[in-house]
Amino acid sequence: MRLLPLDSWRKKKRIVLPRKLLINMTSVCPFAKSARPDDASPRKSMDNHSRDQAEPGGKVRRESDDSASVSPKCPFGYDSHTFKLGPLSCVICQALLYESSKCVPCSHKYCKACISRFKDCPLCGADIEKIEPDTDLQDVVNRFIDGHARIKRPHVKTNVEEVGSENKIVIYEDVSLERGAFLVQQAMRAFRAQNIESAKSRLSLCAEDIREQLERLGNTPELCSQLGAVLGMLGDCCRSMGDSGCAISFYEESVDFLSKLSMDDLEVTHALSVSLNKIGDLKYYDGNIQAARSYYNRSLDVRRNAIKDRSDVPSQVLDVAVSLAKVADAERSLGNEDLALRGFEEAIKCLESLSLSPKETGLEQRRLSVLEFLHNQLPGSRDMSV
């Protein structure tokens, strides 16, 4: 029986993001630390804002400057720290509405893909007689997305408001929400709820934004990192929709952008190796084992280089073991049993020599799961399983 490449411990069709995106979308994702292209001095602006003092009525007074700064809030309640739901969100997928649809007769509104799975309204329990598109509401959502985090006022005397007895310049900064992180967060929510079209739409907008910045600013490390991550997620969307050709195209473009970056960043190497492995998986499923082995080997090279000076990072050791197992599995499918066994044995040694702290329970579970798979590939175990 031919073995699939390690899907026994990794769920299929799951978005795999750089850990920065998974841990905290606002403080460590690649979008949070990049300046907007039209912001000439973002750091200075934020520093000045922190020195402002609030006065009654929502006005801001600055001690030693001729201007005042007002940090606006999103009128719909979307917040960069919590990404809480707003009135333009679907309560099923908890993301912004996509293909807004109205239940008849109760008139509650959801994403089309979300509500199509129900016979009764999730909010009121009424029987759904039919579902109608709500184009007016979707137009509002689209305008909201298009305008959100794009409100910018130049630092000139065009907005003057009286503060105390003097006229002071009021500088309106961007809404307190990074557009890229916001779109990615909405896409992740939609993806988890299996509203893949919605996720793909939000990620496509995000990719378009980054490409516009690339045209103006060039291939900066921040932008290449952001685009590489988003393209990888777009590949996941296409893969979930069964479009392997489109998925491979996105993964390959992701690899192109991530390859331009320094491999000193562990998050970059992880994202790059994941994209290479995913291309290998799709080639494997398509029966092109030679091509799959090539991509698995490229991923293994990336991970070996990353671990040279970081052999004490457990996650990197695990990544190397996974890549070794993928290459070995491909070798076995090609009839190279000796090479396969050497690869499986090397991966086992990596994991058996890995020591984890009691706090690293997630990594330990993954280590044991991969070890179980590897031991099952050795001759004695395979004979017993048969």
Q: Which residue has the tokens 């799951």?
A: 14
Classify residue 261 by burial, with Cβ atoms within 10 Å: 0-12, 13-18, 19+: buried
**Phi/psi of residue 375, nearest 5 degrees:** -65, -30
Confidence at residue 171, expressed as pLDDT on a 0 to 100 scale:
43
Listed residue (34, 70, 33, 39) closest to 53, CA to CA: 70
Are residues 326 and 303 in contact, defined by beta-carbon separation less than 8 angstroms?
Answer: no
Q: Is the pTM of this model over 0.75?
A: no
The pairing of beta strand 53-54 with beta strand 60-61: antiparallel
Please give the DSSP secondary-structure letter assigned to residue 251: H
Q: Which two tokens stand for residue 42?
A: 């973002």
Cis link prior to 105 (omega < 30° from 0)?
yes
Tens of pLDDT, residue by residue, the chain (386 residues) = 344 444 433 333 333 444 444 333 332 334 433 333 333 333 333 333 333 333 434 444 444 444 444 455 566 666 555 556 678 899 999 999 999 999 999 999 999 999 999 999 999 999 999 999 999 999 999 888 877 655 444 444 444 444 444 454 444 444 445 778 888 889 999 999 999 999 999 999 999 989 988 888 888 888 888 899 999 999 999 999 999 999 999 999 999 999 988 878 888 888 899 999 999 999 999 999 999 999 999 999 999 988 887 777 888 889 999 999 999 999 999 999 999 999 999 999 989 888 888 888 888 898 899 999 999 998 866 544 43
Listed residue (276, 321, 331) closest to 302, CA to CA: 276
Count CB-CB contacts under 10 A for residue 55: 12
221-385 CATH:
1.25.40.10
Confidence at residue 92, expressed as pLDDT on a 0 to 100 scale:
94
Listed residue (326, 261, 264) closest to 300, CA to CA: 326
**Phi/psi of residue 204, nearest 5 degrees:** -65, -40
CA distance 212 to 203: 14
Q: Which two tokens stand for residue 305?
A: 């280089």
Confidence at residue 157, expressed as pLDDT on a 0 to 100 scale:
44
The DSSP element (H or E) to which 172 belongs, if any, is strand 166-172
CA distance 330 to 284: 8
Are residues 187 and 233 in contact, defined by beta-carbon separation less than 8 angstroms?
Answer: yes
Confidence at residue 149, expressed as pLDDT on a 0 to 100 scale:
53
Confidence at residue 311, expressed as pLDDT on a 0 to 100 scale:
72
Q: Which two tokens stand for residue 158?
A: 């065009």
Q: Which two tokens stand for residue 300?
A: 């293994």
Are residues 135 and 150 in contact, defined by beta-carbon separation less than 8 angstroms?
Answer: no
* Span(s) in the chain for CATH 1.25.40.10: 221-385
CA distance 103 to 115: 8
| Domain 74-140: CATH architecture, name and number where available | 2-Layer Sandwich (3.30)
**Phi/psi of residue 124, nearest 5 degrees:** -115, -10
* Span(s) in the chain for CATH 3.30.40.10: 74-140
Q: Which two tokens stand for residue 72?
A: 């606006």
* SS3 of residue 373 by DSSP: helix
CA distance 169 to 162: 9
Q: Which residue has the tokens 């893949």?
A: 196
Q: Which residues contact 29 (CB under 8 A, 6 or more apart)?
A: 20, 21, 181, 184
Are residues 181 and 25 in contact, defined by beta-carbon separation less than 8 angstroms?
Answer: yes
* SS3 of residue 281 by DSSP: helix
CA distance 238 to 200: 8
